[in-house]
Amino acid sequence: MIEHLYVHIPFCPRKCSYCAFVTHVGSLKLMEPYLRALAREAESQAEEMPGGPLSTIYFGGGTPSMMSPEQLSRLLATFESVWSLTPKPEITIEAHPSTVDADKLGRYMQSGANRLSFGAESMQSGELKSLGRQHGEDRVREVVEIARWAGFSSINLDLMYGIPTQTRASWRDSLHRVVKLRPDHLSLYPLSIEPKTIFARAWRQNALHIPDDDQVSSMYDDACALLTAAGYIHYEVANWALPGHLCRHNLAYWRNREYYGLGVGAHAYLRPYRIRNVEHTRPYIDRTLSRGMARCESVYLDADSQLNETAMLGLRLLQEGVNIRDIREKHGVDLLVRAGQEGRRLLDAGMLTQRGDRLLLSESAVPVANEIWQTFLSTSPKVMSNTLSTN
């Protein structure tokens, strides 16, 4: 049964310089009709593909903390009515530090949210300014303290590296400052220059100066060493957690579990289909309220494609890896046989390790993970993409 739900809330106070996510900047006048559309889509997806009870719900964005606690409460009540919830679901809401206060976080907690993810991005004022963020380091410290006071026992901070004006020294300083806050979970992402972003335009004009690849790789190494020394478990390529605080929702992604996806631009995995919604807010609202859904693409994955995804995603889990026995029993494929001599070379070099039935990527091999993953992929998957009418 499908136990996981992603909900996209596109509304944002402003567009950050690096952001390529589906967002709606400015007025909140579409918030209420948008929430009605989410409720309608939930009913349609549950009817099409029954599932539940839900064990994880993740509100991403955009800036989900643009919702009021009352709006969050209504949505959660709808999801509980449509799917039901497990006794102790993980319910995460992403939040911008500038959009919350003690009262709001306290009422989010009362509404049912129990995990917060703050987009800190950096602990350096100059770097935050270059990213187009509206908060400073002091505000990050404040919201973590407020969230603890409100009762949240699981708090994530996002940080970025390889960003304009950043040096290895400033990156290490940000890490030290964050560790002092003792968040339960950390997600660290290298800057990626995405099309149609402010940074992409600056890059084309040679006006964006960022650390080179060697510096970025060194920053990742610094994070691995510092966070391990601080007691964090490096459980996924880009994620660290204190014991007992691994993100259950994201674990479902990396284990290639099915999940529902609601909202503009949202993705869902309803095996064997990966589904994507339209990427503009008003058309999403209009189509969903009238038809129940607003999909723009449905991709069929055959067994080989599903195996490829399971192998690639599973190798991201540094403590868990891929269960080669399960794959052999389910797909009739021995991953090590498929990898051949290259797989043996990677094992001998220590870039991969085998623990019983599990094949794991070594932390030192993360910089070349993309090349390693290719070793285990089938060369002849059948993927059929159907672009759906948006009229």
Read off the pLDDT of residues 293-304 as tens digits, 9 standing for 90 and up. Answer: 999 999 999 999
Residue ranges, the chain, pLDDT below 70: 17, 378-391
Q: Which domains does the chain have, with CATH numbers?
A: 4-254 (3.20.20.70), 318-374 (no CATH)
pLDDT at 384: 55
Tell me if 111 sits within 8 A of 148, measured CB to CB: no
DSSP letter assigned to residue 118: E
DSSP string, 313-343: HHTT-TTT-EEHHHHHHHHS--HHHHHHHHH
Contacts of residue 112, defined as CB under 8 A and 6 or more positions apart, other chains included, come to: 72, 73, 76, 91
Alpha helices in the chain (DSSP H): 31-48, 69-83, 102-111, 125-131, 137-150, 168-181, 198-204, 213-229, 248-254, 281-291, 303-314, 324-331, 335-348, 369-374
pLDDT at 391: 52
β-partners of residue 110 are none
pLDDT at 378: 64
Distance CA 306, CA 301 (A): 6
pLDDT at 161: 97
pLDDT at 193: 84
Distance CA 310, CA 331 (A): 11
Percent of the chain scoring above 70 in pLDDT: 96
| SS3 (DSSP) at 99 | helix
pLDDT at 374: 85
